[in-house]
Amino acid sequence: MNNRARWSVGMLIIPGGALAGALAAALAWRSRLPDRLPGVGGDGPDATMAVAPFVATTLGLPAGLWVLGLVGFAVTTRLPASQAHAIRTGIQLAVTTVTLALTSAVIVVLHSALDAPSTEQASSPAPAVAVTAISAAALAGALVALALAGGRVTMPPAARAPDRSAVRLPLGAAERGTWQETRAIRPLRWAAALLVLAGAALTAVFVPLVGDVGWAMLAVAVTGLLLVPMHAYRLVIDQRTVRASYGPIRRTVAISDIVQAEAVTVEPNEWALAGMKGAGSSMLLAPGPALSLELADGTTFLTSCRDTATAAGFINSIRDRSA
């Protein structure tokens, strides 16, 4: 699937299909719903809200975000390829996650009130069911958005070879190899485990005390589960690409898109402000040694690396060979 098709699926088909499906369900069920829905107003647990305003409000937010996202996509065409890709990935992630979460909320709330003869007899969705369904939809949307965005950016060919003074490794003409580095992020492992345990404990305590509302504490455990994929960072360099991955966050740079690689040291103040230098410009775990890649679109990509001299030399040698 090419880039245009992947962006179209992520920004047109999925959000549009989810909104259309939720709206179609609301229209199909309107004769089977009471005039007002219980438990969805803003004035306490006994509040009610008319069906039409509830549907319009809940679907209006993702619809508005979707339109803004499409405008953002159009604006990014003027940016360098790597920055445009990072911004589009963020937009697609936000739009898909919010849209699937809120459309699933509409379906869950309306389905629980189906065929109720009156508002007083209508049921609200069980908190555990609602939290699980909405969280699952949001997580699925996030994973699909990241998968469709991909980690590789299409760029124009690099205009020049690395400087002759740049560090290189003495590779033979027919010599092949792969360089990789993996780093465990132990604080995140502990944080994920603590959140899962805390969420389970809070749910066990609050459900007997406050009833179904206590199931909302499951959100803490869900947050912990979302951190699990972020427990390790990996950098892989082969004959064709440089791949950096941090859980579901991935960045792939073709060797042919690299002008030059060099070893740099990122100071604490630079690390703190790294995200402000441009979208997709860095994947830094902490201050310290980093691999700097000068790219063909004029941008620079920084990524954490312990053995920066070897990594930079390997990339420059492969780049010379492919030029």
Residue 302 sits at φ, ψ, to 5 deg, of -110, 135
Q: Is the pLDDT of residue 264 over 80?
A: yes
Local confidence band at 16 (pLDDT 50, 70, 90 cut-offs):
very high
Per-chain mean pLDDT for the chain: 84
Say which range, 20-24, 126-130, 278-282, has the weakest mean pLDDT: 278-282
pLDDT tens digits, one per residue of 268-310: 877 777 665 655 678 888 888 999 998 887 888 889 899 899 9
Q: What is the pLDDT of residue 231?
A: 81
Q: Residue type for 122, please?
A: A
In the chain, the percentage of residues whose pLDDT exceeds 90 is: 23
Q: Is the pLDDT of residue 318 over 90?
A: no
pLDDT tens digits, one per residue of 52-76: 999 999 999 999 999 999 999 988 8
Say which range, 105-119, 149-163, 239-253, has the weakest mean pLDDT: 149-163
Distance CA 21, CA 26 (A): 9
The tokens describing 311, both together, are: 């990594």
Q: Residue type for 253, please?
A: V
Q: Tell me if 111 sits within 8 A of 89, measured CB to CB.
A: no
Q: Tell me if 232 sits within 8 A of 184, measured CB to CB.
A: yes
b/e per residue, 49-67, with b = 16+ CB within 10 A? bebeebbeebbeebbebbe
Q: Which residue has the higher pLDDT, 317 or 279?
A: 317
Distance CA 281, CA 308 (A): 17
Q: Whose CA is closest to 308, among 293, 295, 320?
A: 293
Q: What is the pLDDT of residue 7?
A: 87
In the chain, the percentage of residues whose pLDDT exceeds 70 is: 88
First vs last C-alpha separation in the chain:
27
Q: What is the pLDDT of residue 25?
A: 94
